[in-house]
Amino acid sequence: MHQAFVVTGSLKDSRTVCLDEPIPLSDGKVRVIVELAEPASKMSHDEFLAWLQKRHESRGHVPRTRDEVDASLRAERESWDE
């Protein structure tokens, strides 16, 4: 008799599934049936920007200042003359 486990998870790429909870198997060949757990919803532009900012903050991203960007552009442009 076969055991079946129904768990949710996320696709990391087209070949990798990360399960939301462990199952009592350690190795061996398995059969996977994939269906969307929830319909994909589109974010509005404002929702996307808020999500992106929260994601940046959670990983400690500090954007460059205007002066840093200007200095980088200036250095790049000055290198064209050499």
Q: What pLDDT digit, counting tens, does each position of 44-69 carry?
A: 899 999 999 999 999 999 999 999 99
- Other C-beta atoms closer than 10 Å to the C-beta of 9 total 14
For residue 66, tell me if it sits in a domain. yes
For residue 19, tell me if it sits in a domain. yes
CA separation for the pair 34, 42 (Å, rounded): 21
pLDDT at 42: 82
Q: Does residue 72 surpass a pLDDT of 90?
A: yes
Q: Are 7 and 23 in contact (CB under 8 A)?
A: yes
Q: How many domains, the chain?
A: 1
Segments forming the whole domain that contains residue 24: 9-32+43-80
As a 3-state breakdown, the chain gives helix, strand, coil percent values, each rounded to 5, of 35, 10, 55
pLDDT at 52: 92
For residue 38, tell me if it sits in a domain. no
pLDDT at 64: 94
pLDDT at 1: 52
pLDDT bracket for residue 82 (50, 70, 90): low
- Contacts of residue 17, Cβ cutoff 8 Å, sequence gap at least 6: 9, 10, 11, 32, 34
- The model's pTM: 0.42
